[in-house]
């Protein structure tokens, strides 16, 4: 029995050893299969991705070619990006869906200034078209296509295109070019014509700050024709001199130009950031704001001639964003103040805007204080006026006194004041306790009318001004009437 038990135990141990070996082999087989499968899947995935990218690139190239073919069918003057330079009807950016994938198309159109070298576009013989197609999901560029286009119609002179106008938008104050300004072109002889373009906005390019209108016709001689140019930019206004004139036949100017056949006209339109001026009249004695009555404030530009305006204030302040009908330009200004008490204040050479960097930073409000001297009370005097016969009646020998003459002392700052009319019944008239309020001597003059002498009832200025000594002492004035 022992030998039977021994054989059985050996068989059981052999069976156990055989089962362990099978499990290990299975695990190893699975691992090997996984490694091999991963490699195969990676190869298959890469192959699939490469095939997908190649297909996407093929689609992108086809989209780019389609866009170029579309542009080639356009009228030459319409070849340009809407709102770009040159302007046209082509959309700068657009999206296309093909086979469930979104593609972004970017189209650029630029002038090629060949064969003329350097400077601004002169004849704009060609336009360069560039189309870039990218995958929308990650902006990866898939295709790029570039070509050149010229006008198919030549003029009799042999030019590749018609007349053109180059419009430069420039900052009046800094003389810097302004990119992104909208420029509009109209004809004085054709109310239905309007062309709009935008100055180049990429600094460093020859087209920066410039809008070019090509494919134009020459201006007629009879009736005289002009192209009118206007420009606008957010935060800016156009210099008054660079606006089109009201009359269509006015003299040629920056915004009112003529063109010859196949000619090029370049013009500059100046724009500026409008400023604002606040004036405060200050009493120099205590620094308070002047509120003693009406005051006249004259604001004058020392940068531009004929830019001046008077303002009247009763609270000692003036605030304005226009001078003489034009928005306040940057520059330097002088502010003069006069009051009824004949106090005068002046503040010269005030920079507007105030700081050197304010204009660039948009800080366009300037505060100007004008100091008034202390008030000087009026001087009381006695004035005697004698009217004598003869134009030289006041010379030696003296002429006879002319009775019933009417004497008027005229205060030139208020010539309509009726309180200074008097009748010199005896030929002599005395004006005592007269209030002369410190104004210059030449602000007064004496006028005499003799009732029995023509012109009847009309005032005649028969003598000059009251001498300055009249402010400090009694004075006598003789008037000679022939």
SS3 at position 104:
strand
- pLDDT mean over 171-177: 95
pLDDT-derived band at 364 (thresholds 50, 70, 90) equals: very high
For position 22, what pLDDT does the model report? 65
Length reported for the chain: 482
pLDDT-derived band at 240 (thresholds 50, 70, 90) equals: very high
CA–CA gap between residue 271 and residue 230 (Å, rounded) = 10
- Give the largest Cα separation in the chain, rounded: 188
Is the domain 163-272 a CATH 2.60.40.10 member? yes
8 A C-beta contact, residue 253 and residue 246: no
For position 466, what pLDDT does the model report? 54
Bridge partners of 383, per DSSP, are 431, 475
Say if residue 465's pLDDT is above 90. no
- Mean of pLDDT over the chain: 79
Residue ranges of domains in the chain: 163-272, 276-372, 379-481
Q: Which fold has domain 379-481?
A: Immunoglobulin-like (2.60.40)
For position 184, what pLDDT does the model report? 94
Q: Which fold has domain 276-372?
A: Immunoglobulin-like (2.60.40)
- pLDDT mean over 460-472: 47
pLDDT-derived band at 441 (thresholds 50, 70, 90) equals: very low
Most confident of 141-145, 245-249, 365-369: 365-369
Q: Say which residue, 386 or 422, is predicted with more confidence.
A: 386
Q: Pull the structure tokens for residue 145.
A: 């296509």
Say if residue 468's pLDDT is above 80. no
Read off the pLDDT of residues 382-417 as tens digits, 9 standing for 90 and up: 667 777 777 777 887 788 887 777 777 766 656 666
CA–CA gap between residue 295 and residue 345 (Å, rounded) = 11
Lowest mean pLDDT among 143-157, 379-393, 434-448: 434-448
Sequence-ordered strand ranges (E) for 50-174: 93-98, 101-112, 126-135, 141-149, 163-171
Answer whether 163-272 and 276-372 agree in fold.
yes
Read off the pLDDT of residues 292-347 as tens digits, 9 standing for 90 and up: 889 999 999 999 877 899 999 999 999 999 999 999 999 999 999 998 877 889 99
- pLDDT mean over 80-109: 85
- What is the percentage of the chain residues whose pLDDT exceeds 90? 31
């Amino acid at each position: 029995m022992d030998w039977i038990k021994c054989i059985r135990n050996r068989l059981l141990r052999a069976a156990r050893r055989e089962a362990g070996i099978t499990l290990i082999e299975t695990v190893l087989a699975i691992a090997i299969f996984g490694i091999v499968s991963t490699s195969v899947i990676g190869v298959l995935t890469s192959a699939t991705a490469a095939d997908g990218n190649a297909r996407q690139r093929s689609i992108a190239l086809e989209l780019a070619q389609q866009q170029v073919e579309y542009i080639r069918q356009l009228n030459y003057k319409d070849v340009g990006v809407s709102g770009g330079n040159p302007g046209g009807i082509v959309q700068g950016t657009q999206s296309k869906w093909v086979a469930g994938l979104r593609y972004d198309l970017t189209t650029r159109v630029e002038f090629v200034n060949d064969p003329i070298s350097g400077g601004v576009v002169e004849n704009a013989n060609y336009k360069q078209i560039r189309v870039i197609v990218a995958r929308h999901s990650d902006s990866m560029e898939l295709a790029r296509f570039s070509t050149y286009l010229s006008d198919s119609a030549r003029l009799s002179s042999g030019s590749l295109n018609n007349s053109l106008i180059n419009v430069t938008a420039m900052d009046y104050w800094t003389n810097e070019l302004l990119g992104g300004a909208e420029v509009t072109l109209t004809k004085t002889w054709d109310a239905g014509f309007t062309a709009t373009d935008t100055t180049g906005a990429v600094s460093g390019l020859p087209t920066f700050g410039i809008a070019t209108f090509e494919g134009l016709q020459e201006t007629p001689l009879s009736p005289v024709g002009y192209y009118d140019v206007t420009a606008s930019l957010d935060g800016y206004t156009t210099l008054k001199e660079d606006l089109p004139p009201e009359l269509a036949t006015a003299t040629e100017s920056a915004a009112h130009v003529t063109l010859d056949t196949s000619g090029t006209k370049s013009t500059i339109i100046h724009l500026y950031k409008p400023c604002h001026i606040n004036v405060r009249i200050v009493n120099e004695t205590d620094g308070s704001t002047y509120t003693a009555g009406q005051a006249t404030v004259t604001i004058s530009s020392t940068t531009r001639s004929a830019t001046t305006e008077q303002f009247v204030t009763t609270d000692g302040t003036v605030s304005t964003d226009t001078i003489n009908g034009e928005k306040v330009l940057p520059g330097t200004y002088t502010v003069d103040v006069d009051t009824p008490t004949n106090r005068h204040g002046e503040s010269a050479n005030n920079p507007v805007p105030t700081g050197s960097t304010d204009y660039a930073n948009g800080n366009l409000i300037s505060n100007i204080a004008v100091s008034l001297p202390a008030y000087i009370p009026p001087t009381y005097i006695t004035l005697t006026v004698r009217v004598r016969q003869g134009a030289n009646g006041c010379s030696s020998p003296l002429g006879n006194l002319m009775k019933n003459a009417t004497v008027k002392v005229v205060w030139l700052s208020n010539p309509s004041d009726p309180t200074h009319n008097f009748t010199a019944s005896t030929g002599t008239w005395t004006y005592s306790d007269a209030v002369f309020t410190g104004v210059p001597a030449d602000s007064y003059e004496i006028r005499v009318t003799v009732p029995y002498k023509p012109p009847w009832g009309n005032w005649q200025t028969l003598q000059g001004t009251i001498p300055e000594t009249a402010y400090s002492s009694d004075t006598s004035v003789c008037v000679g009437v022939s």
